[in-house]
Amino acid sequence: MSDRPASWRMPTPKQMEKMAALGRKTVSRERGLAPDDDLPQEYWEALLADPRAEAKPASSSGGTLRLSQIPQHILRVGCRRCARVVEIQKADAARLNGPDALWKVVGQRLLDNTCTQRTGRHEEDGCWPAFE
């Protein structure tokens, strides 16, 4: 049985031609930008007006910060290999590793201690961290 209501019908060929013709009329005839063209001023204004424009670079939000520099109370690291996610409170992480420990090292240690992907080969073992 179909999930469609009884009133749903396939368009006739004439209706499909009419819809296609209507779609062709609404297509813009303006020339697109070439790869070496300058972007319009409106594009740059919209880009700079976006609140994310003032955000810190992604590299500083990753594992390069020390635990004492991270503003979040819950720290989360995921594995790109097995899709596991491990969370720890910042206070617990600082108590176990010290406030000056790098989050990258702490997160890798958390994943390694609970890793389920063990093959016996050093090159393949372990989790691949993704800091959130």
Model confidence over 44-65: pLDDT tens digits?
Answer: 888 888 887 776 555 444 568 8
17 in any annotated domain: no
| SS3 track for 60-129 | HHCCCCEHHHCCCCEEEEEECCCCCEEEEEHHHHHHHHCCCCEHHHHHHHHHHHCCCCCCCCCCCCCCCE
**pLDDT band at 3, cuts 50/70/90?**
low
Both structure tokens of 79: 């594995």
111 in any annotated domain: yes
Give the domain extent around 127: 67-131
- Number of domains, the chain: 1
More confident residue, 124 or 98: 98
More confident residue, 22 or 105: 105
11 in any annotated domain: no
> What is the pLDDT of the chain when averaged over all its residues?
79
75 in any annotated domain: yes
The Cα 108–Cα 103 span in angstroms is: 8
> What tens digit of pLDDT does each residue of 54-104 get?
765 554 445 688 999 998 999 998 888 778 888 999 999 999 999 899 988
